Amino acid sequence: MADKKIIAVVGATGAQGGGLARAILADAGGGFAARALTRKPDSDKAKELARHGAEVVGCDTDDAESVKKAFAGAHGAYCVTNYWEHFSVDREMAQARNMAAAAKAAGVKHVIWSTLEDTRKWVPLSDDRMPTLMKRYKVPHFDSKGEADGAFRAAGVPTTFLLTSFYWDNFIHFGMGPKKGPDGRLALTLPIGDKKMPGMAVEDIGRCAYGVFKKGGDYIGKTIGIAGEHLTGAQMAASFSKALGREVVYNAVTPEVYRSFGFPGAEDLGNMFQFKRDFEDYYCGARSLAVSRALNPALLTFDGWLAQHKSQIPIE
Ligand SMILES: NC(=O)c1ccc[n+]([C@@H]2O[C@H](COP(=O)([O-])OP(=O)(O)OC[C@H]3O[C@@H](n4cnc5c(N)ncnc54)[C@H](OP(=O)(O)O)[C@@H]3O)[C@@H](O)[C@H]2O)c1
């Protein structure tokens, strides 16, 4: 452990950070050690990481001092926020500022900030193609992360800005999978028209992040985007049909209809999908499959992800 470079992993008990922690732990000779940060060191997930060799350290990103202590002595830090836990842009940005300040104070040599686009650079608040939400945002959970890029720059920490992609795992955990329609057929409902959307297995985000740390300083100061594939709704529906052995049709609704679905975050997600649809060239272009595969040769395709996870997809 002493001769290994410690990576402090925020969110190690979650999806993104968990993938990174597992990638580090699986590569015993790779020269890195995983420090798993969590608010609940006694949880089963934390204990599982410890069993596999991670150092588990208590940390709450709402508490600046606890992050400083947790980052002390680390070579690298993976910084992620969980907007969906609280739906607060201000809290997400404060957490990012706490992590940036802690990385600076601890002299961390390489931070990866898990970010997304500030969509207001493409769709200013005055653009009424989509509603402005919370008075200041178009896609709150994207805009806050993009705005928080500035916190890492202002703190002067060596940072890689990692643009992630839609998790295919949302089809399992986020209620976005195929559902039976009034005609009894399974339908995949998305408001992206005939455009391609970058997606990936969430486990691959961590594996790609590990690839970034292994490249040393190559990506410091840079923004890189990752994805497993860029696929249309129709292509994803066709893959579902093949994997599930049942017809799945693509139900292309408008973003207006998606925003009206009424579940928590529906307007935010409706705007998000519209952004991806309306700026397909930029959005796919910013997430290179070749770069992702170079960072992580195990990168899954959608069919590969389905082969591993099809039994977990809830279908009524
Ligand atoms: N779903 C998608 O398609 C998608 C795509 C791109 C980006 N994202 C973004 O991904 C983020 C969520 O990441 P995820 O999916 O890895 O989350 P997750 O699986 O829900 O896990 C959340 C993790 O964050 C940790 N955490 C939350 N609040 C914390 C705090 N105050 N202090 C310390 N740790 C804290 C939790 O640790 P403990 O509970 O153990 O403390 C847990 O490990 C969201 O912001 C979302 O916008 C999602």
* Cβ pair 315, 244 in contact under 8 A: yes
Closest protein CA for atom 7 of ligand 1: 164
The residue to mutate among 82, 86, 231, having the most atoms of ligand 1 within 8 angstroms of its beta carbon, is 82
Please name the residue whose Cα sits nearest to atom 45 of ligand 1.
82
Which amino acid residue places its CA nearest to atom 32 of ligand 1? 60
Residue 179: CA count within 13 A, CB half-sphere: 11
Cα of 307 from ligand 1 centre, angstroms: 25
246 Cα: distance to centroid of ligand 1 (angstroms): 33
Alpha-helical (H) ranges within 107-230 are: 140-155, 170-173, 202-214
Give 266's contacts (C-beta < 8 A, 6+ positions apart): 258, 259, 260
How far apart are the CA of 93 and the centre of ligand 1, in A? 14
The separation between CA 283 and the C-alpha centre of its own chain, rounded to angstroms, equals 15
Q: Which residues line ligand 1 (CB under 6 A)?
A: 10-17, 38-40, 43, 59-62, 80-85, 141, 164, 166-167, 170, 174
Distance from the alpha carbon of residue 241 to the mean position of ligand 1, in angstroms: 30
Distance CA 37, CA 11 (A): 7
What CA–CA distance (Å, rounded) separates 41 from 225? 31
**For every one of its 316 residues, what pLDDT tens digit does the chain have, with 9 covering 90 and above?**
569 999 999 999 999 999 999 999 999 999 999 999 999 999 999 999 999 999 999 999 999 999 999 999 999 999 999 999 999 999 999 999 999 999 999 999 999 999 999 999 999 999 999 999 999 999 999 999 999 999 999 999 999 999 999 999 999 999 899 999 989 999 999 999 999 999 999 999 999 999 999 999 999 999 999 999 999 999 999 999 999 999 999 999 999 999 999 999 999 999 999 999 999 999 999 999 999 999 999 999 999 999 999 999 998 6
- Nearest atom (ligand 1) to Cα of 13: 43
Give pTM, 2 decimals: 0.98
- Collect all residues with Cβ–Cβ distance below 8 Å to 146 and sequence separation of at least 6: 115, 116, 117, 118, 119, 121
Nearest to 7 by CA among 85, 95, 106, 82: 106
Ligand 1 geometric centre to CA of 16 (Å): 7
Return the residue whose CA atom lies nearest to atom 38 of ligand 1. 38
Q: Ligand 1: which residue has its CA nearest to atom 44? A: 82
Instruction: Measure the CA–CA gap between 295 and 84, rounded to whole angstroms.
Output: 28
257 φ/ψ angles, rounded to the nearest 5 degrees: -65, -45
How far, in Å, from the CA of 11 to the mean position of ligand 1? 6
Q: What is the separation of C-alpha 281 from the centre of its chain, rounded to a whole number of angstroms?
A: 20
Copy the structure tokens of residue 99: 């992590």
